[in-house]
Structure 1
Amino acid sequence: MKVVSSNQMRAIENAAFKEGTSSEILMQNAGHAIALAIESRITDGSQLVALIGPGNNGLDGLIACSELRKTDSYIMTIILLTNTVSEREDFLEELDLINSDVKIYDSLDCDSKFQEIEVILSKADVVLDAIFGIGLSRNIEDPLKAYINRIIDSLSENVLKVAVDIPTGVNTDTGEVDQTVFGADLTFALACPKLAHFTQPAAYFCGKVEVLDIGISIKEMKEINVNLITEIFVGSKIPMRPLGSNKGSFGKIMIVGGSKEFVGAPALAGKAALRTGAGLVTSAIPTAISSSFAPLFPESTLIQLPETSENNSAWNSAKYIHKNLAEYSVMLIGCGLGVSNQTTNIVENLLIPDIDVPKLIIDADALNILSRMYKWWDKVDDNAILTPHPGEMSRLTSLSINEIQSNRINVAQEFSCKWNKIVVLKGANTVIASPDGEVWVSKFANPALASAGTGDVLAGIIAGLLAQNVSMVDAALLGVYIHGLTGETFGKSSGLLASDLLESIPFIMDRLRINKGFKN
C-alpha cells in the first residue's frame, strides 16, 4: 500500500480529474465513506460534534454530517471554524442542514456562546475533526488557535475523537505537530495513508489509521516509492512448512557475537531465528563465555573463539569462521560483540576482504566497528541487511540523532542507495529502505519494545527468514512486521522482556500464514 506526501496526493487527485472524476464526486465519496465508518462505531442516540474548517477537509466533514443526519438516529452539532453560517449557507442548505434539528454554531459564537457550546462538547460521544487537512503547512494562530484549544479542553475523557485525513495541527509531510494539535483516536485516511500517519511525533496524534476508499486509483503513480507493510502482504510471503521436511530444509545460520558484557545477545538472536523456523543455528562466541552461554541456548552448536589481544588470534578466529561458512546460508554478526581490538579485527577480516560470504545481517557492534572504517560500504558485500538503531545510524552517517529522527524516511532511503545495502532503521515506525529507492514503513510504534535485547530478537527473526529462502527485502519487511505484531500482543506498557517475545513468534507466524493476513 502506497504512502503519499501532500503533493503526491494532489497529483493523484488531478489525475482523477483528468480521467473525468470531478472534485464534487470525490467529496461526495469521501463524505459518504466517513459517514459509514462513523456509523459502524456508534449507537442510536449518540451525540456527534463536527468541527468544520474552511477548505475541502471541512466540506468532506459537512457531507459526512448530511449523510449521518439522514438516519435521524443521532444528536448532531456543527461548529464552523474560520467561517460564519452566512458564508456556508448555500452549501448547508444544499446538504439539508439549515432549518433542521442540527445545531450550527460559527466562529463568532465561539466568543459569545461558548458556555453553551462547552456543555455540548462535554456530552459529546464523537467529535469529528474536519478543520484542516493535508494542506496545512503553517502554524495555527489566534483567534482560531484559542478556539481549538478551548474546544479540546472541553471534551470528556471518553469521547471518540475522529480526524478526517489528518488531525488538525499535523504537518502531512514532515510529521511535525503544532502547539495546537487535535489528538485523534482514529484517523480516516482518504484514498491512501499519508507520510505523517507513520512519522513521529505526528503518528502518536493520529491514533489508529483506517484507509477509506473514495473511488480513485493510484496504480499509475509509479514515482511513489514509500509503502506501508500490510498483513496481507506479510501473510502471503510467510514460508510454508512441508510435512516431509527436516532441519536441513530450513537453512543454517552462523551468528558471530557475544562478549563477557553481553552473553545473552547472541542467544536471543539465535532463539528468535529458530522460533522463526530456521533449521540450525551455530554460535561463534568467545571461549570465555561458552560455559555461561550453553545453558541459555542449548539448541545451538558452538564455535569457540579464543579471546586474546593478539592480531593473529583474531585473524585465526575469522579464518576458522570463514572455513565453516560454506555450510551456512546466512551470517548474522554483531549481537553483543563489543568493540574491542579483537572483535574489530574479526569484523575486518570477515567483512572487508573480497571473500565469499553468505547472506549477511550486520547488527549492533558490527555496525559500530564499520562506522570507523573509511568507505566501508565499498568493501562489504552488497548482499547485506544493516539493522541500526538511531544511535548506530548516527555513527554510520555522521548525522546527529535529531537529524535522523526528524527525517527518517529520507535518511534511510539516501544511505541505502549510497551504501547499496538494505537498511532497517529501527525505532517507532521502523523504516526499511532498499538500494533501488523503495522504502517501507511499519505501522507499529510500541514503547514496550524499547528494552534491551529486542533488537537482537529482530535480527534473529530476519536471519531465520533468510535461512528459509525468503528474499533479502522480503525478509527485512516480514521480520519487522512479525517483530512488531508479536510486541503488540503484550500491549504497550512497560515490563516486556526481549525473551518474552520468543515463544509467541511461531504462533504469530502461523496466524499470518493460515489467514494470509487479516486486513490491509
Structure 2
Amino acid sequence: MCDEFASDRINDIDDDGLRAWPLPMPSEDGDKEQRGSVLVIAGSRQMPGAAILAATAALRAGAGKLTIATSAATAPLVALAMPEARVVDLPETDAGAIAPAAADILNGMLAKFDTVLIGPGMQDEQGSCAFVMALLPHLNGAKLVLDAAAMNVVRRQLQAVDATCHPQQRYVSQFDTPVLLTPHAGEMAHLNACDKHGVLADPLAAARHAARRWNALVALKGATTIIAAPSGEVWRHEGGNIGLAISGSGDALSGIIAGLSARGAQLEQAAAWGVALHARAGERLAERFGPLGYLAREIPAEIPALMHALCLQP
C-alpha cells in the first residue's frame, strides 16, 4: 500500500523545521486588516462552546478580524462570550443543524475572509453536510478548514437531505480549492467506511491515500500526527500528552490553524505550526496542572508566548 509513496518526502515538525519555515508577520505599522480575517462557522444548540473555543484560538494565533456564524439559538450566548467578534445568526433545521438556506445569507460576505473554518460543534450529520455542500460553490477560493461534522461532505455513504439532489452532488469526490481536513482516526474510518484499527495500524498510508483521493490536505490527528498533501509530501509531528485527549481540544486546534492561515500562512504551514503549537500548549499545561485535568479552554492562552518563542532565532 505504501510502495507508490516510497520516494515521497516526509518532513518532521520540530523546532528547527518550524524556525526554518517562519510564519508571515505583519509590519510594525500594520493594522488588523493586514493580519487577516477569519470566519468561523460552528456551534449548535447542544454545543455552543465549540464556536467559542475555535474562535478564541483563531485570535490567539494572530488573526486580525473575526466573524462567527452560528445557529440562531446559539448566537446570543456566543456574542456575549466573544466581544471581539461579529456574530451572525443562521437559520436552523428542526434537528438543530445550520440549515442549507444559511448559505444564501453568508454568500454576500464570503469574499471578505482570508480563511473559513467550518464544523466545530455542528450537529446533525446530514443537515450539516447539506449546508456545507450548499456553501462550497460560494467560497471563491478562500482557504478552507473542515473539521468535525463538516468533513462528512466527503462521505460517499451519506445521503443528501434533499431527496431531489442529483446523486453526484451528494458528496465531494475531489476538491478544486485549497482545503484542509482534520480527522482523528475514528473520523477517518467513518469518512472512508473502513476499520479504525486499520487507520491506526498505518496512519501514514491512510493520510496519504485520503489526501490524493480527495485532492485535499489531510491532518490525521493522534499521538503522531500526519499531515499529507495531494502531492504525496508529508509532515509528521510527535509530541503532546494524553491530557490533550479531551472534549474541545480539537476545536482549539482547528481554530489555531484557521488563525494562522488567515494571517497569511498557506494551509500546510498553518497545519504544521498549529499541530506543533497545540502539542506544546498541552505540554505547558501538563507542567502546571499535571498530565490530566487541564481544560481545552486553557489551550489558546498558551499559544501567543509559544509562537513568539518559536519565531525567535535560536
State the TM-score bracket (shorter-chain normalisation): 0.7 to 0.9
Q: Is the 8 A contact 2:183 2:221 kept in 1?
A: yes
Matching of residues 24-43 of structure 1 within 5 Å: none
Letter in 2 for 1:400: D
What displacement does 1:296 show? 2.2
Q: Secondary structure of the residue that 1:239 maps to in structure 2?
A: coil
Corresponding position: 1:511 with 2:309: yes
Partner of 1:384: 179
Partner of 2:163: none
Letter in 1 for 2:88: I
1:229/1:269 CA distance change after superposition, 3 Å: same
What displacement does 1:379 show? 5.2
Moved over 6 A (4+): none
Task: Give me the whole-angstrom Cα distance separating, in 2, the residues matched to 1:425 and 1:389.
Answer: 5
Matching of residues 89-108 of structure 1 within 5 Å: none
Q: Is the 8 A contact 1:254 1:328 kept in 2?
A: yes
Higher relative contact order, chain-length normalized (CA < 8 Å, sep 6+): 2
1:410/1:379 CA distance change after superposition, 3 Å: closer
1:345/1:414 CA distance change after superposition, 3 Å: closer
Corresponding position: 1:464 with 2:259: yes
1:486/1:355 CA distance change after superposition, 3 Å: closer
Q: Secondary structure of the residue that 1:307 maps to in structure 2?
A: coil
Matching of residues 7-406 of structure 1 within 5 Å: 223-236=7-20, 237-309=22-94, 314-339=99-124, 342-351=127-136, 353=137, 356-371=140-155, 372=158, 376-378=171-173, 380-406=175-201
1:301/1:406 CA distance change after superposition, 3 Å: same
Question: Equivalent of 1:433, from 215, 222, 228?
Answer: 228
TM-score calculated relative to the size of structure 1 = 0.54
Q: Secondary structure of the residue that 1:261 maps to in structure 2?
A: coil
Task: Give me the whole-angstrom Cα distance separating, in 1, the residues matched to 2:153 and 2:123.
Answer: 9
Q: Secondary structure of the residue that 1:478 maps to in structure 2?
A: helix
Greater alpha carbon shift after TM alignment, 378-387 vs 324-333: 378-387
- Per-residue CA shift, 1:297-352, capped at 9, x if unaligned? 22111111122449xx934311111211011111100011112654333112012x
Letter in 2 for 1:368: N
TM-score calculated relative to the size of structure 2 = 0.87
Question: Equivalent of 2:243, from 437, 448, 463?
Answer: 448
Q: Secondary structure of the residue that 1:288 maps to in structure 2?
A: coil
What displacement does 1:232 show? 1.8
Task: Give me the whole-angstrom Cα distance separating, in 2, the residues matched to 1:478 and 1:278.
Answer: 14
Task: Give me the whole-angstrom Cα distance separating, in 1, the residues matched to 2:125 and 2:190.
Answer: 17
Q: Secondary structure of the residue that 1:385 maps to in structure 2?
A: strand
What displacement does 1:381 show? 3.5
Gaps of 5+ in 2: 160-167
Task: Give me the whole-angstrom Cα distance separating, in 2, the residues matched to 1:354 and 1:321.
Answer: 9
- Per-residue CA shift, 1:342-368, capped at 9, x if unaligned? 4333112012x4762411000001113
Task: Give me the whole-angstrom Cα distance separating, in 1, the residues matched to 2:68 and 2:154.
Answer: 21
Q: Is the 8 A contact 1:391 1:401 kept in 2?
A: yes
Two-structure CA RMSD over aligned residues (Å): 2.3
Task: Give me the whole-angstrom Cα distance separating, in 2, the residues matched to 1:498 and 1:355.
Answer: 29
Letter in 1 for 2:27: P
1:230/1:341 CA distance change after superposition, 3 Å: closer
Task: Give me the whole-angstrom Cα distance separating, in 2, the residues matched to 1:466 and 1:281.
Answer: 13
Q: Is the 8 A contact 2:219 2:228 kept in 1?
A: yes
- Per-residue CA shift, 1:420-442, capped at 9, x if unaligned? 10000011111100111011111
Q: Secondary structure of the residue that 2:238 maps to in structure 1?
A: coil
Letter in 2 for 1:394: A
Greater alpha carbon shift after TM alignment, 313-322 vs 287-296: 313-322
Question: Equivalent of 2:271, from 459, 463, 476?
Answer: 476
Task: Give me the whole-angstrom Cα distance separating, in 1, the residues matched to 2:77 and 2:138.
Answer: 34
Task: Give me the whole-angstrom Cα distance separating, in 2, the residues matched to 1:417 and 1:408.
Answer: 14
Task: Give me the whole-angstrom Cα distance separating, in 2, the residues matched to 1:290 and 1:508.
Answer: 31
Q: Is the 8 A contact 2:125 2:152 kept in 1?
A: no
1:340/1:241 CA distance change after superposition, 3 Å: same
